[in-house]
């Protein structure tokens, strides 16, 4: 059996990438167009065969075990013979050439990437530029997998059928089975001179830019499907789909609950008591909020239609403004005297408070309570 590792000049523990690089290097040196002659041509065939074995995980594993990487007829029950072979033979799964050669062209895999966006983009939508690493059709061989000017030849082992038939003995007698041809991997033909750039796969990896239209109303976890923007399949096969998973970055002011936004507005004690008009920042720009006299801590002011766009349907959520009434902690003598006069005029100079349920439910605080930190 040939020493395929020696033919490629790699160690037995070489990685698939090491094997691919070694083959590319030797193939460039030994290709008949670069190095004509019978000896170089023979060496080129040995290198190509070595790569065909070591570049295929199943063949390499078989070769490392000391077995024929291209398979071969085996006799006797239990040697290369499985229960599925019996079922195939009796029920027509792979018997008597029912399968035929398979196409090299296959659909590419789907891909998933994550996209971080800010809250305004999530609320209103917008365009985002993505950089994706993916497989595209090899421009050198146009997806054929063979060097320009070359092609494929009919497999000598299966004569282009893509499968070989075997007669095996079992307790049921002789059974005829069909297996994919190991020499051509079931394709029915062999690429004699694989493309240097794609190593015979018909596709290469590259980085490309893609413009994504983000709809308004998306949220963290939303996935946007882009048909045909995934990886191109082997030998120029149909590309898979690309899925973009949205991750919305936290906002310094607003928090989101469904399609509603929430924020906190600090209100001076005097403005809460007397009423006032205060500016509030929204995603659309600043607006004014009217506070009624006697506004209490924890009250909310809803601003209709100032939230996030509905992803499915028209309209937007609301912006809920939570009011945080700030009680002063430092007073000068004049301020303290004025507040004391206010407390006296309201009969709150000696407050007793009002008992209520735990957590403040049912309890009313007077202004004097707040000033004393109660």
CATH label of the domain that carries residue 206: 2.60.260.20
55-83: b or e for each residue (b if 16 or more CB lie within 10 Å)? bbeebbebbeeeeebbbeeeeeeeebbee
Residue 44 within any structural domain of the chain: yes
Domain boundary among 188, 221, 250: 250
Give the pLDDT confidence score for residue 79 in this predicted structure: 37
Q: Average pLDDT for residues 347-364, to the nearest whole number?
A: 60
Both 113 and 230 in one domain: the answer is yes
Phi-psi region of 215 (alpha: psi -120 to 50; beta: other; left: phi over 0): beta
Both 61 and 18 in one domain: the answer is yes
Both 348 and 227 in one domain: the answer is no
CB 174 within 8 Å of CB 125: no
Give the pLDDT confidence score for residue 77 in this predicted structure: 34
Both 207 and 315 in one domain: the answer is no
CB 306 within 8 Å of CB 287: yes
Both 127 and 19 in one domain: the answer is no
Both 128 and 214 in one domain: the answer is yes
Both 290 and 353 in one domain: the answer is no
Both 285 and 360 in one domain: the answer is no
Give the pLDDT confidence score for residue 84 in this predicted structure: 45
Q: How far is CA 128 from CA 102, 107, 164, 211, in A?
A: 40, 27, 52, 6
Whole-model pTM? Answer: 0.61
Both 271 and 309 in one domain: the answer is yes
Residue 186 within any structural domain of the chain: no
CATH number at residue 61: 1.10.287.110
Please check the confidence at residue 193 and state whether its pLDDT lies above 70. yes
Both 208 and 115 in one domain: the answer is yes
Number of domains within the chain: 4
**Spatial separation of the C-alpha atoms in residues 167 and 165, rounded to whole Å:** 7
**Spatial separation of the C-alpha atoms in residues 15 and 19, rounded to whole Å:** 6
Which of the residue ranges 132-146, 208-222, 358-372 would you say has the lowest mean pLDDT? 358-372
Chain segment 239-260, per-residue pLDDT in tens: 999 999 999 999 999 999 999 9
Tokens of 215: 């709809």
CB 128 within 8 Å of CB 114: no
Tokens of 127: 């365009």
Residue 13 within any structural domain of the chain: yes
Chain segment 9-56, per-residue pLDDT in tens: 888 888 988 888 888 888 777 766 566 667 777 787 888 888 888 888
Using alpha carbons only, give the angle 230, 232, 237 rounded to the nearest 5 degrees. 135
Which of the residue ranges 53-57, 267-271, 278-282, 285-289 would you say has the lowest mean pLDDT? 53-57
N- to C-terminal Cα distance for the chain?
92
Of these ranges, 90-99, 309-318, 361-370, the one predicted with the greatest mean pLDDT is 309-318
Residue 332 within any structural domain of the chain: no
Both 132 and 55 in one domain: the answer is no
**Spatial separation of the C-alpha atoms in residues 316 and 319, rounded to whole Å:** 10
**Spatial separation of the C-alpha atoms in residues 166 and 169, rounded to whole Å:** 10
Residue 74 within any structural domain of the chain: no
Both 221 and 342 in one domain: the answer is no
Enumerate residues 6+ apart whose C-beta is below 8 A from 172.
Answer: 86
**Spatial separation of the C-alpha atoms in residues 17 and 15, rounded to whole Å:** 5
**Spatial separation of the C-alpha atoms in residues 179 and 102, rounded to whole Å:** 12
Give the pLDDT confidence score for residue 26 in this predicted structure: 83
Residue 90 within any structural domain of the chain: no
Please check the confidence at residue 72 and state whether its pLDDT lies above 70. no
Domain hosting residue 120, numbered range: 109-139+202-250
- CB neighbours of residue 40 within 10 Å: 15
- CB neighbours of residue 322 within 10 Å: 13
Please check the confidence at residue 262 and state whether its pLDDT lies above 90. yes
Residue 164 within any structural domain of the chain: no
């Amino acid at each position: 059996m040939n020493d395929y590792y020696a033919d490629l000049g790699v160690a037995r523990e070489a990685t698939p990438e090491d094997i691919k690089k070694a083959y590319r290097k030797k193939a460039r040196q030994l290709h008949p167009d670069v190095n004509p002659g019978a000896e170089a041509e023979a060496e080129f065939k040995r290198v190509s065969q070595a790569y065909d074995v070591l570049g295929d995980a199943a063949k390499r594993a078989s070769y490392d075990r000391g077995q024929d990487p291209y398979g071969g007829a085996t006799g006797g029950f239990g040697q290369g013979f499985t229960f599925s072979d019996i079922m195939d033979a009796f029920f027509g799964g792979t018997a008597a050439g029912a399968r035929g050669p398979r196409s090299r062209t296959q659909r590419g895999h789907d891909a998933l990437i994550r996209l971080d966006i800010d809250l305004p983009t999530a609320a209103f939508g917008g365009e985002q530029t993505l950089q994706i690493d993916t497989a595209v059709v090899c421009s050198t061989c146009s997806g054929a997998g063979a060097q320009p000017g070359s092609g494929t030849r009919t497999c000598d082992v299966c004569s282009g059928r893509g499968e070989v038939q075997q007669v095996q003995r079992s307790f049921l007698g002789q059974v005829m089975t069909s297996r994919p041809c190991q020499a051509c991997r079931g394709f029915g033909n062999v690429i004699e001179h694989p493309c240097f750039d794609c190593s015979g796969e018909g596709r290469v990896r590259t980085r490309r830019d893609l413009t994504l239209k983000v709809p308004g109303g998306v949220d963290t976890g939303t996935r946007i499907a882009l048909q045909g923007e995934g990886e191109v399949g082997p030998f120029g096969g149909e590309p898979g789909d690309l899925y973009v998973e949205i991750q919305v970055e936290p906002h310094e002011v607003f928090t989101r609950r469904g399609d509603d936004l929430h924020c906190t507005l600090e209100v001076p004690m005097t403005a809460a008591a007397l009423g006032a008009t205060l500016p509030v920042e929204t995603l659309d720009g600043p607006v004014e909020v009217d506070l009624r006299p006697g506004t209490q801590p924890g009250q909310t002011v809803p601003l209709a239609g100032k939230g996030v766009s509905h992803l499915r349907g028209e309209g937007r959520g609301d912006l809920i403004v939570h009011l945080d009434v700030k009680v002063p902690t430092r007073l000068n003598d004049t301020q303290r005297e004025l507040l004391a006069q206010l407390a006296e005029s309201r009969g709150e100079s000696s407050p007793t408070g009002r008992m209520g349920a735990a957590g403040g439910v049912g309890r009313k605080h007077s202004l004097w309570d707040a000033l004393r930190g109660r």
